[in-house]
Amino acid sequence: MKPGPESDAVYISHMLECIDRVQEYAQGDAARFRTTRMVQDAVIRNLQLMAESSQRISDGCKATAPEIPWRAIAGFRNVLVHDYLAIDIEAVWQVVEHELPPLKLALLRMQRELP
């Protein structure tokens, strides 16, 4: 896909879809997440896909949301993909519970402001 506003819109939309899926699968239930491998797998996979899409958003578009820790998201993706045997489920839950809600709000704002 060619970089630009159209591809930025696609990747932002995809990130939002992944966040919605994570929230649907996790259902805000930490105990369910901690004890259900299928939920863990679904959440981790969608976080990985979301982070991958974040790396494909143009630098100009990312600059409109400096509050988003873009580099940290990319780093998180690398851990999920390459260090999968050492994934800390508690750390993943912290991302789901504390990081995704403000990220979702920022992405929704970015989506509204796209040309």
Q: Domain span at residue 25?
A: 5-113
What's CA 50's distance to the chain center, in Å? Answer: 4
31-90 pLDDT per residue, tens:
999 999 999 999 999 999 999 999 999 999 999 999 999 999 999 998 888 887 889 999
What's the CA gap between 41 and 104, in Å, rounded? Answer: 21
- Number of domains, the chain: 1
Which position has the higher pLDDT, 19 or 2? 19
What's the CA gap between 59 and 113, in Å, rounded? Answer: 15
Write b or e for each residue in 51-89: b if 16 or more Cβ atoms lie within 10 A of its Cβ, otherwise e. bbbbeebeeebbeebeebebeebeebbebbeeeeeeeee
**pLDDT exceeds cutoff 80 at 3:** no
pTM above 0.85, yes or no: yes
**pLDDT exceeds cutoff 80 at 114:** yes
The CATH number for 105's domain is: 1.20.120
**pLDDT exceeds cutoff 80 at 1:** no
* pLDDT value, residue 82: 87
* pLDDT value, residue 83: 80
* pLDDT value, residue 19: 98
